[in-house]
Amino acid sequence: MRTLSIASTGMQAQQTNVDVISNNIANMSTNGFQRQRAQFTDLLYTDVSRPGAASAGPEARVPTGIQIGAGVRTGGVYRVAQQGSLVLTENQFDMAIQGHGRFQVQMPSGEIAYTRDGSFQVSDQGELVTSQGLLVEPGITIPQGVVGVSISKTGEVQVKIPGEVEMQTVGQIELATFVNEAGLSAIGDNLFLATGASGEPIISAPGEPGFGTISQGFVEASNVNPVAEMTALIQAQRAYEMNSRIVKAADEMLGTTSQLR
């Protein structure tokens, strides 16, 4: 009886589904978080009778055949690259990306990571850093004693120095995009690393074709929809229960068979 193994694959698939949904709900308040969705594929089929096989005579063909499936498996978990809403923070170093692109962050190993989380601060050296203290690339240093910082939509960082009329440019924010952003590898702390699946980063200034613009004093909120997630959670729970009932029914059928005399 294949029923037990088929139903077990369904239960395992729904467990994965609930894991993904619970992670989405847990990150409802995470800056720049992009919700995930699990996708499933059916497993190999056993051909009891192949479609189109010869039947009663040389001209007769089986129209549909008999193919018994082996269940389901998780084909992948992808991120939904939908723009999150912008939340006003009034912190002059906070930035939100409207459109495509990710900020670049230098890891302690020297490797470059990428993020949509633009909640930045200034270190004791005046360098622009993330909330974990990682340097934002390319490096931008805010001089001591400035009375104002302005970041344009195109990523130009300017400061107001006491006694001077004109604003001084101290750096340029650059964004990175990828041919396949779904191929990025999440490493936690709202950071991602490039992989062979994502392709090499394409670097450019905000506002260039294919790149979003910068909004100073805002951060991008999570794009998780609580109502949609709860609906998906209920559907996954019901599907899990239905598969468990199949296991129970198969067990009862096997019990009936074992009691035959």
The pLDDT score that the predictor gives to residue 84 is 92
The pLDDT score that the predictor gives to residue 81 is 87
DSSP labels, the chain: --HHHHHHHHHHHHHHHHHHHHHHHHTTTSTT---EEEEEEE--EEEEE-TT-B-SSTT-B-SS-EEEE--EEEEEEEE---PPPEEE---TT-EEEESS-EEEEE-TTS-EEEES----EE-TTSBEE-TT-PEEESP-BPPTT-SEEEE-TT-EEEEE-TT-SS-EEEEE--EEE-TTGGGPEEEETTEEE--TTT-S-EEE-TTSTT--EEEETEEEPP---HHHHHHHHHHHHHHHHHHHHHHHHHHHHHHHHHT--
The one-letter amino acid at 149: V
Structure tokens at 74: 């998780």
Q: Who contacts 256 (Cβ-Cβ below 8 Å, separation ≥6)?
A: none
- Could you tell me which residues are beta bridge partners of residue 54? 61
The pLDDT score that the predictor gives to residue 57 is 66
With beta carbons less than 8 A apart as the criterion, state whether 158 and 169 touch: yes
pLDDT tens series, the chain, 261 aa? 788 889 999 999 999 999 999 999 999 999 999 999 999 999 888 877 777 777 766 677 777 778 788 899 999 999 998 899 999 998 999 999 999 999 999 999 999 999 999 999 999 999 999 999 999 999 999 988 888 899 999 999 999 988 887 889 999 999 999 999 989 999 999 999 999 999 999 999 999 999 999 999 999 999 999 999 999 999 999 999 999 999 898 888 888 877 776
